[in-house]
């Protein structure tokens, strides 16, 4: 498999890499693979992997991108939850090493599936300025399929200068950060079929708001999480997300 982190080529998704993330085995081996493929990361006490991909300058504002790399069932592919997001963030890191307007901090969190322990550990450190002047944390969930950008801003007004659909994404690291006072949003993608399922089911927002089980009439993709059927991805959609969607957040 070609090592994109060394060739420096613009985004050309190596689906083989996504398959490795899914089947590399233990959490420890996945962590090692992320570290090698993304560049040297710092590991904290909770197993979160942190990388300053374009250096660190305290005079610059900082934006943090986050995706959890732990999974519920090691034997499943876990593309939607959440290894496609990890893959997307790894490639986004490679593509933006020369970006100089802001510090870009990439974080792969651990223990999201165990009560967001990794994110909760990071929250007070972010607020105390350990990682610089972090203006926003952008958490990635469910980014394997679809070009429709979905954002959960937790009821807070933010000035986005691009199109998106306001949704209530199932519980994530961003929920924990928001609860603890960190400026955070959760983003994901859906295809047209699934976004229509969301729009046409007004009760779904209330189900998710109170942490209840997902309504079977909601987006079908969301119901694949933690299931052996979580084996779907769309290469073109993922390429689009990394090359065109994620960079929009650098301008906020």
Q: Which region among 55-59, 189-193, 210-214 has the lowest average model confidence (pLDDT)?
A: 210-214
Tell me if residue 111 falls in helix, strand or coil: coil
Architecture per CATH, domain 12-251, reads as 3-Layer(aba) Sandwich (3.40)
Most confident of 156-165, 170-179, 181-190: 181-190
Burial class (CB in 10 A: 0-12, 13-18, 19+), 239: middle
Query: What pLDDT, on the 0 to 100 scale, is given for residue 66?
Result: 98
Q: At what angle do helices 27-38 and 84-95 cross, to 10 degrees?
A: 20
Q: Is 2 exposed, middle or buried (CB count within 10 Å of its CB: 0-12, 13-18, 19+)?
A: exposed
Closest by CA to 94, choosing from 173, 16, 10, is 10
Q: Which two tokens stand for residue 193?
A: 């079929």
pLDDT at 205 over 70: no
Q: Which of 9-18, 20-29, 102-111, 113-122 has the lowest mean pLDDT?
A: 9-18
**pTM of the predicted model as reported, rounded to 2 decimal places:** 0.90
Q: 184 or 220: which carries more pLDDT confidence?
A: 184
The residue ranges of every structural domain in the chain are 12-251
């Amino acid at each position: 498999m070609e090592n994109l982190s060394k060739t420096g080529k613009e985004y050309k998704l190596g689906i083989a890499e996504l398959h490795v993330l899914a089947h590399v085995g233990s959490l420890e081996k996945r962590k090692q693979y992320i570290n090698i493929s993304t560049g040297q990361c710092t590991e904290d006490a909770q197993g979160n992997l942190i990388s300053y991909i374009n250096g660190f300058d305290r005079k610059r504002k900082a934006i943090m991108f986050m995706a959890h790399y732990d999974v519920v069932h090691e034997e499943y592919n876990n593309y939607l939850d959440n290894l496609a997001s990890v893959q997307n963030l790894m490639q986004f890191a490679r593509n933006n090493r020369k970006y100089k307007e802001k510090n870009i901090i990439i974080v792969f969190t651990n223990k999201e599936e165990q009560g967001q322990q990794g994110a909760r550990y990071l929250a007070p450190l972010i607020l105390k300025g350990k990682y610089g002047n972090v203006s926003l944390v952008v958490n990635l969930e469910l980014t394997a399929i679809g070009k429709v950008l979905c954002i959960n801003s937790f009821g807070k007004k933010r000035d986005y200068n691009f199109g998106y659909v306001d949704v209530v994404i199932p519980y994530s690291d961003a929920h924990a950060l928001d609860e603890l006072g960190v400026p955070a949003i959760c983003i994901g993608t859906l295809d047209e079929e699934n976004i229509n399922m969301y729009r046409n089911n007004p009760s779904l927002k209330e189900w998710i708001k109170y942490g209840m089980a997902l309504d079977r009439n909601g987006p079908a993709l969301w119901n694949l999480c933690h299931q052996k059927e979580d084996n779907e991805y769309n290469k073109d959609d993922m390429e689009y997300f990394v090359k065109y969607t994620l960079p929009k957040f650098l301008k906020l």
